[in-house]
Amino acid sequence: MKLNITLNGAKKSLEIAPNAYLLDVLRDLAGMKSVKRGCGEGTCGACAVLIDGRLRNSCITFAAHCEGATVLTVEGIGSHEHPHILQKAFVNHGATQCGYCNPGSLLAAKALLDRNPDPTMDQVKEALDGNLCRCTGYVKRIDAVLDAAKEMKSSREEKR
C-alpha cells in the first residue's frame, strides 16, 4: 500500500506493508537513522517522532495510521552545520553522551517548547518523562531545555 506523508518538510510517497510500524518505515525506507529502536514497547522514547506536532513513539505506531500526516524527525530540526537551539543547548550542558536517546529527547523538548515557550522546571520534567537516558541522567537535559527556552524567547524578542 502507499503511504503519503510530509517528512521533515518534504512530500513522500512510500510503498509499505499494511502492518509496518512507522519506526521501520522511517529507518528502512526513508533513511531517517535518528529514529532508534529501543524497547519496542513504546516506553523508552528512543523512537519518538512528532506526528502533526504531537510526540509519538514510532515503534508502536502503524505507519498506515500516518496517511496524510506531517512527520518530523530530528533530521528535520537541525543539522551538524546549522544545529537547532535545543541541539546546541544539549551539547553546551553536557546532556549528551552516547547519543542514542538524544533524538527522542530533543523532539520531546521541541514539542513542549512549541506549545509552551516558557515552561517551568516541572513542565520540562514531565515533557521528558517518557525518554530514558542511561548515560547523562536528567538534570543536564532539564537545564538544557530551560536554557534553550530562554534563548528562543530572547531571539523572538530581538526580531520584534
**119: containing domain:** 85-155
**pLDDT confidence of residue 35:** 97
Q: Which residues of 83-121 are buried (b: 16+ CB within 10 A; e: fewer)?
A: ebbbbebbeebebbeeebbbbbbbbbbbbbbeeeeebee
- Average pLDDT rounded to a whole number, residues 60-66: 98
Mean pLDDT of 60-86: 97
Mean pLDDT computed over 91-118: 95
145 and 97 within one domain:
yes
* CATH code for the domain in which residue 36 is found: 3.10.20.30
| In a shared domain, residues 72 and 92 | no
For the stretch 8-55, pLDDT in tens is 999 999 999 999 999 999 999 999 999 999 999 999 999 999 999 999
Answer yes or no: is pLDDT of 74 > 80. Answer: yes
Q: Are 13 and 45 members of one domain?
A: yes
Task: Select from 35, 58, 76 the last residue of a domain.
Answer: 76
Within-domain flag for 160: no
Does residue 66 lie within any of the structural domains?
yes
We report the CATH number of the domain holding residue 104 as 1.10.150.120
What's the pLDDT score for residue 137? 77
Coil/strand/helix, residue 96: coil
Q: Would 21 be classed as within a structural domain? A: yes
